[in-house]
């Protein structure tokens, strides 16, 4: 609530590190893609379709990571009531939803030629979709609440309770399918692909951090504008 400690200098928003981040992300991403695509053998059943894995799987990991960030900063918000925590949680949720959507989209694009269907009611697929809907609910809630404080508290609560539910959702949906035939999801991975996967994950992580940072900076700039208006309105008190 105290304004005085809000020293925010738009010229020092870390744009430079931002540029390094995005450059690093793009370079690593391109390099790893080239490496992975040229170096990994065509897979037996799927042929070169398997290459989708290099984006699909890291995207899924980044989704989980984002939701974890939402959880941590939501707890922190309710504890310390710092506006920044709310903004970071919101940024992570937005970016996480994008990665979640990407996982779904890539998975479906992959599933069509491999399984012959866009969708199967498999445990992992269903829980990924439910996770996506929890994110959507979180973001919708933010859109429907006008008061900044109320929005922060509500979305923190929804973020935490949603995060608690994620493992339960995953567990329940997995048991739901347990004794039925599994779609041929290659969860066993040939070591030939692991290296490509790992470095791709690092590239994606850089992208994720960059996105969250950028989104957060935008949110902070919006706040800064409001706070500048504040000092003007209070007559330089």
Partner 1 sequence: MAWRDDWRRVRAIARKDVTTELRAKAGFNSTASLGVTILILLGLALGPDAQALRDAAVGAVWLALLFSGVLAFNRSFQVELESGALEPLLLYPGPRWTIFAGKLLGNLLFLGLMVAIVVTVGVVLFSVEIPARWPTLLGVLALGVVGLVVLGTFYASMASRSRAREVLLPLLLFPMLVPALVAATTASKALLGADLMHDADAWIRLLAAYDVIFLIATFLAFEHVIEA
Partner 2 sequence: MQTGHGEPGMKVSGLGKRFGARWVLRGVTLVVAEGEAVGLLGANGSGKSTILRILGTLLNPTVGTATIDGLDIGRDASAVRSRVGYLAHTPGLYEDLTARENLRFAADMLGLGYGSVDESLDRVGLAHVAGDRVRGFSAGMQRRLGIARLILRAPRILLLDEPYSNLDAEGIDLMNSILGDIGRSGGSALVALHELAPARGILARTVNLVDGRIEPAETTLPLRDRARPISVVR
Residue numbers at the binding site for partner 2 (CB under 8 A)? 1-3, 146, 149, 225-226, 229-230, 233-235, 237
Taking the complex as a whole, how short is the minimal distance between the CB of residue 165 and ligand HEM, in angstroms?
A: 16
The CA distance from 163 to 68, in Å, is 7
164 contacts which partner out of ligand HEM, partner 1, partner 2, none, CB within 5 to 8 A by kind?
A: partner 1
User: Residue 181 CA to chain centroid, in angstroms?
Assistant: 30
Task: Say whether residue 185 binds ligand HEM (CB under 6 A).
Answer: yes
Task: Say whether residue 61 binds partner 1 (CB under 8 A).
Answer: no
Phi and psi at 47, nearest 5°, equal 65, -140
The CA distance from 189 to 108, in Å, is 19
Name which of 17 and 182 has its Cβ closer to ligand HEM: 182
The Cα-based distances of 162 to 77, 104, 139, 220 in angstroms read 16, 19, 12, 25
124 contacts which partner out of partner 1, ligand HEM, partner 2, none, CB within 5 to 8 A by kind?
A: ligand HEM
Name which of 49 and 75 has its Cβ closer to ligand HEM: 49
Contacts of 219 (CB under 8 A, 6+ apart): 87, 90, 91
225 contacts which partner out of partner 2, partner 1, ligand HEM, none, CB within 5 to 8 A by kind?
A: partner 2
């Amino acid at each position: 609530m105290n304004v005085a400690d809000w020293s925010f200098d738009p010229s020092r928003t870390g744009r430079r590190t931002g540029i390094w981040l995005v450059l690093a992300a793009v370079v690593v991403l391109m390099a790893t893609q080239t490496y992975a695509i040229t170096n990994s053998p065509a897979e037996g059943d799927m042929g070169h379709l398997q290459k989708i894995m290099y984006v699909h799987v890291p995207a899924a990991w980044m989704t989980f990571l984002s939701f974890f960030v939402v959880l941590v900063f939501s707890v922190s918000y309710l504890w310390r009531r710092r506006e920044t925590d709310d903004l970071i949680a919101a940024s992570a949720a937005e970016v996480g939803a994008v990665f979640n959507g990407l996982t779904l989209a890539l998975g479906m694009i992959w599933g069509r030629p491999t399984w012959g269907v866009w969708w199967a009611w498999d445990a992992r697929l269903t829980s990924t979709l439910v996770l996506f809907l929890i994110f959507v609910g979180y973001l919708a809630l933010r859109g429907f609440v006008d008061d900044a404080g109320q929005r922060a508290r509500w979305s923190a609560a929804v973020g935490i309770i949603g995060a608690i539910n994620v493992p339960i959702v995953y567990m329940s949906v997995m048991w739901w399918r347990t004794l039925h035939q599994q779609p041929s999801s290659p969860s066993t991975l040939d070591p030939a692909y692991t290296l490509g996967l790992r470095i791709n994950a690092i590239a994606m992580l850089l992208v994720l951090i960059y996105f969250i940072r950028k989104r957060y900076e935008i949110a902070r700039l919006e706040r800064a504008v409001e706070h500048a208006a504040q000092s003007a309105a209070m007559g330089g008190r």
